[in-house]
Structure 1
C-alpha cells in the first residue's frame, strides 16, 4: 500500500537522525522515543498513556521504562491517593538527550517539509490529522465490535 510504504520511509528517516543520539547514550529507539514523548507530552506521563497514545505494546514500554529508570533518566512516582497510579518524571540526567532530541526533531521537520509553502504545510497537517482521526475511529469501532463478541 502506497501510504504505508511512504509512512515507513518517513519513520526510517527520523530513526536515522535519532540513531546518533541513541548510539551516543546507549539507548534503544523505544527508550529514546519514550524520553521525547515524555518531554513533548508532560500531561501524558503514565505507562498506560504511553501505550495508548503511541500504540506501543505494554511489554515494550514496561521494559524500556525499567531500563530508563536503571540508567537514571526517569523516576516513577507512586500516587499517595491511588497506589496503581504511577507518574513518570524525566530527571536532569535526561536533559542533554532531550535537548539533542529537540534539535533532531527540528531538523527532521525542516527537512521533510522542505520546499513546502506555509499554506501547504498547514494543509499537510490538516490532511494527516484527518487520516489519523479516521484510523482512530476505525480502531475504536473494531475494538468495540470485538468486545461484544
Structure 2
C-alpha cells in the first residue's frame, strides 16, 4: 500500500535525526521518544497516557521509564489523593536532551516541509489529521467488536 510504504521513509528520516541525539546522550529511541513526549505533552504525564497516545506497549514504556528514572532524567510522583495515580516529570538533567531533541524536530519539519507553501502545509496537516482520525475510529470499532 502506497501510504504505508511512504510513511516508513518519513519515520526513517526522523529516526536518523533523533538517533544522533540518542547516540550523544546514550538513550534508546523509546527513551528519547518518552522524554520528547513528556516535554511536548506535559498534561499527559502518566505511563498509561504514554501507552495510550503513543500506541506503545506497557512493557516497553515501563522499562524505558525505569531507565530514565535511573539516569536521573525523570521522576515519578504519587498522587496524594489516589495512590495508584503516578505522574512523571522531567528533571533539570533532561533539559539539554530535550533542547537537542527540539532542534532535531525543527530540522525534521523544516526539511520534510521544504518547498511547501503555508497553504500546502495546512492542507497536509488537515488531511493527515483526517487519516489519523479515521484510523482511530476503525481501531475503536474493532475493539468494540472484540468485546
Fold conserved between structures, TM > 0.5 = yes
Give the Å deviation of 1:108.
Answer: 0.3
Deviations 1:45-92 (A, max 9, x none): 000000000000000000000000000000000001111100000000
Q: Which has the higher contact order (CA 8 A, sep 6+)?
A: 2
TM-score by length of 1: 0.98
Aligned pairs, how many? 147
Matched, 1:44 2:36: no
Deviations 1:8-33 (A, max 9, x none): 11011000001111011110000000
Q: Which residue of 2 aligns with 1:15?
A: 15
Q: Which residue of 2 aligns with 1:142?
A: 142
Q: Which residue of 2 aligns with 1:33?
A: 33
Give the Å deviation of 1:3.
Answer: 0.4
Q: Which residue of 1 aligns with 2:78?
A: 78
Deviations 1:86-143 (A, max 9, x none): 0000000000000000111000000000010100000000000000000000000000
User: Which aligned runs of 4 or more in structure 1 are off by greater than 4 angstroms?
Assistant: none
CA distance in 1, matches of 2:106, 2:47: 26
Please list every run of 5 or more consecutive structure 2 residues that lacks an aligned counterpart in the other structure.
none
TM-score by length of 2: 0.99
Please list every run of 5 or more consecutive structure 1 residues that lacks an aligned counterpart in the other structure.
none
Aligned alpha-carbon RMSD (Å): 0.4
